[in-house]
Amino acid sequence: MNKTNMTFIRGNESLPTDELFQSDNMIKVRFPVNAQSKARGIGSERMWVEVLSGTAKDGVGEINNVPAFSDFNLGDLISYELNEEDGVYYFGKLIKSKGGSSDVR
């Protein structure tokens, strides 16, 4: 797979530019991956989410990445929650798909 706009990072590491995006109402959220990605050994996908409402601990936002390893879509409305133990934001549920349907994953 040749993806020029993709970076793989380990664990909870971040990129030097992450702080720039976070100051613009963006957070990085960890999402579950689809079955094909799991079979390849990919455990999760981290994507940028624009915060629309909520607090520093949880809220609602819009996916601002084109997902590569999950079945989400650019523009999906999701809930997120901060895990205070590891300092990582995690996907909560799908509120509204860009396609118009909504469900809980």
Q: End-to-end distance of the chain based on CA atoms, in angstroms?
A: 26
- pLDDT score for 8: 53
> How do residues 38-66 score in pLDDT, each as one tens digit?
999 999 999 999 999 998 799 999 999 89
3-state secondary structure of 54: strand
22 secondary structure, DSSP code: H
CB-based contact 103:95 (threshold 8 Å): no
**Does the reported pTM lie above 0.85?**
no
**Residues in Cβ contact with 85 at an 8 Å cutoff, skipping those fewer than 6 apart:** none
